[in-house]
Amino acid sequence: MWDKAMIDMLLEGIKDTLYMTLLSTFFGYVLGLPLGIALAVTDKEGIQPNAVIYRILDFIVNIVRSIPFLILLILVIPLTRALVGKSYGPTATIVPLTLAAAPFIGRMVESSLKEVDHGVIEAAISMGARTRTIITKVLIGESRTSLLVGVTIVLGTVLGYSAMAGVVGGGGLGDIAIRYGYYRYETEVMIVTLVIIVVLVQLLQWLGMLLSRKLDHRKK
């Protein structure tokens, strides 16, 4: 059973999974980072409170986040087709993964930015900083370790979701696990695939924590 074809397939699965995870996380941040910033800034304790904008964004985030991923995946098939040209395979899966990740990322970013000491923000305001400068230099600069921890959590979550997409032929390790474990009863292959998924998540987690600890200067 463990012939070259099998190993090649697993390697291909790892490649596809990482491809989906990394790209979806990247596009997720393209949407989620501005979203999170907007949430943190317009919150009533934020630097530019705006109840209307906050409530609208908050509502959208909650709605999208409460849709189970598999349902979201099916719901956005028309969009996926329009963007990618087909609705299955790793590249197509990036579309629903990105949409699922964005509001989650928005919340993570929002909570990271809200951790920044209000006194430091006031110091920047008292220096005559623009809102834009406060966002980039104070909010993001001061919360960068927390943001990085957020990235590792997002990577792990997106990787998990990408495996779920295997159910509908999303490609990657999840796809392999489903095909072999569920349809063909080759439990061994499924277990090996799962172990690889767990190891990947651990690796990402470990890397992220290492990096964020290196970048953190709050303690000696």
Partner 1 sequence: MSNDNNHNKIIRVENLTKTFESKKDSLHALKDVSFSIEKGDIYGIIGLSGAGKSTLVRCLNLLEKPTSGKVIVKDKDLLALSKEELRLERQKIGMIFQHFNLLAQRTVLDNICLPLEIRGIPKKERQAKAMELLKSVGLESKSGAYPSQLSGGQQQRVAIARVLANEPDILLCDEATSALDPQTTKTILDLLLDINRQLGITIVVITHEMRVVKEICKHVAVLDEGILQETGTVSEVFTNPRTHAAKRLIYMGLSEETEEEVAKHVG
220 binds partner 1 (CB under 8 A): yes
Tokens at residue 182, please?
A: 């569920």
Number of residues interacting with partner 1: please give it, by CB under 8 A: 25
> Of 136 and 187, which CB lies nearer to partner 1 in the complex structure?
136
Q: How far is the CB of 152 from partner 1 (least distance, A)?
A: 18
Looking at residues 189 to 218 of the shown chain, list those that interact with partner 1 (rule: CB under 8 A).
215-218
Q: What is the DSSP string of 72-135?
A: HHHHTHHHHHHHHSSSSSHHHHHHHHHHHHHHHHHHHHHHHHHTS-HHHHHHHHHTT--HHHII
Q: How far is the CB of 208 from partner 1 (least distance, A)?
A: 17
Q: How far is the CB of 136 from partner 1 (least distance, A)?
A: 10
According to DSSP, residue 217 is labeled -
* 61 to 100: interface string for partner 1, x by CB under 8 A: ----------------------------------------
> Of 42 and 145, which CB lies nearer to partner 1 in the complex structure?
145
Q: Which residue has the tokens 């063909």?
A: 184
Q: Quick one: which segment of 21-29, 83-91, 117-125, 197-205 binds partner 1 (CB under 8 A)?
A: 117-125
Q: What is the DSSP string of 22-86?
A: HHHHHHHHHHHHHHHHHHHHHSTTSSS--HHHHHHHHHHHHHHHHS-HHHHHHHTHHHHHHHHSS
Instruction: Please count the other Cβ atoms lying within 10 Å of the Cβ belonging to residue 77.
Output: 16
Looking at residues 121 to 160 of the shown chain, list those that interact with partner 1 (rule: CB under 8 A).
122-130, 133, 137-138, 141-142, 144-145
> Of 188 and 216, which CB lies nearer to partner 1 in the complex structure?
216
CA atoms in the 13 A half-sphere facing the CB of 193? 31
* Cα separations in angstroms, 35 against 75, 90, 102, 122: 22, 26, 8, 23
Q: How far is the CB of 104 from partner 1 (least distance, A)?
A: 25
Q: Which residues bind partner 1 (CB under 8 A)?
A: 117, 119-120, 122-130, 133, 137-138, 141-142, 144-145, 215-220
